[in-house]
Amino acid sequence: MTDKRKAIFFDIDGTLINIHRQQTHISAPVKDAIRALRKAGHHTFIASGRPYAYLSEEMRDPDLFDGHVLMNGAVVLVEGQVIFRQDLPLATVQKMIAAAEQNQVEYILESHPAVYLKEEYKALEKVYTSIDIRLDHFVREYDPSLAGMQIGKIEFLSETPHAGGLFHELLAWPGLTGLIDPTLLKYMEIYSADVSKATGIERALEHLGIPAADSCAFGDGLNDLEMMDAVGTSLVMGNAGNELKAKADFVLPSVDEDGVAEGIYRHILQVI
């Protein structure tokens, strides 16, 4: 094993946990492997589309993770301190939610550390509680003018695919980017085109003084594409699609087979 200090970044959904199989906690073997990285002097980070409010206690645990790249790079934390954040222009947020309301599309406004979800938006609430996301950091009543609010990302949920064309309309607005869920086509997340997991990782590495060559990333989804190009070693889960696997230095067993633990021991710590 090299003596160089490394920084390792972990996606959550499909990498550390599998919400599609109701596995909403990190498995014991993966936790042990992450602790082994920390013991060896390496830095470990969450790198996720999720905001802080969606993280479980174990994902906030400083004994497991030194920091977090959140909302696809809109917020970066190191040892609990915000070292970078980029919010959407408030006027843009106001126009987007007005369009959503006109089309009967539910939405949640993601900030740090709280998120804002209207009390009447029960469909989105059900989505989060069904995957064991606690509502402790959810603000349910807030000023509808959004005065003084800082919003880094918005998620939308529609009863119809593509929200009748609204999703594509919003994604075409200048300065914005995002993803539409490819399965049901009823969910979309949107954030600044200037940020990504890759830019968040670059901010964290700069803060730590670690070169990209000494960084690694584990992931499985389309929002992991850019971060695989930003790190020295890309480790892709066996349950990932072919587009992401094409970027892999190593393809690992699936999330259900504790692929992260295999990747840590075999390719980073090199003890198996």
Residue 2's pLDDT is 47
Is-contact 1 38, C-beta < 8 A? no
Return the half-sphere exposure (C-beta side, CA atoms, 13 A cut-off) of residue 98.
Answer: 8
Q: Which residue from 83, 108, 134 is spatially nearest to 190, judged by alpha carbons?
A: 108
Q: What is the pLDDT of residue 3?
A: 59
Q: Is residue 63 situated within a structural domain?
A: yes
Judge whether 139 lies within some domain: yes
Last residue of a domain, one of 192, 207, 229: 192
CATH of the domain at 106: 3.30.1240.10
* Confidence (pLDDT) at 1: 40
Same domain for 59 and 123? no
Residue 2 lies in a domain: no
* Residue 67: domain span: 7-85+195-268
- Tell me, yes or no, whether 211 lies in a domain: yes
Question: What is the reported pTM?
Answer: 0.95
CATH code for the domain of 263: 3.40.50.1000
Question: Where does residue 34 rank: exposed (0-12), middle (13-18), buried (19+ CB within 10 A)?
Answer: buried
Number of domains in the chain: 2
Same domain assignment for residues 106 and 145: yes
Say if residue 126 is in the same domain as residue 248: no
CB contact set of 3 (below 8 Å; sequence gap of 6+)? none
Per-residue pLDDT tens digits of the chain, which is 272 residues long: 445 899 999 999 999 999 989 899 999 999 999 999 999 999 999 999 999 999 999 999 999 999 999 999 999 999 999 999 999 999 999 999 999 999 999 999 999 999 999 999 999 999 999 999 999 999 999 999 999 999 999 999 999 999 999 999 999 999 999 999 988 899 999 999 999 999 999 999 999 999 999 999 999 999 999 999 999 999 999 999 999 999 999 999 999 999 999 999 999 999 98
Q: In this structure, are residues 8 and 42 in contact, taking their beta carbons and an 8 Å threshold?
A: yes
* Residues 230, 147: Cα–Cα separation, whole Å: 36
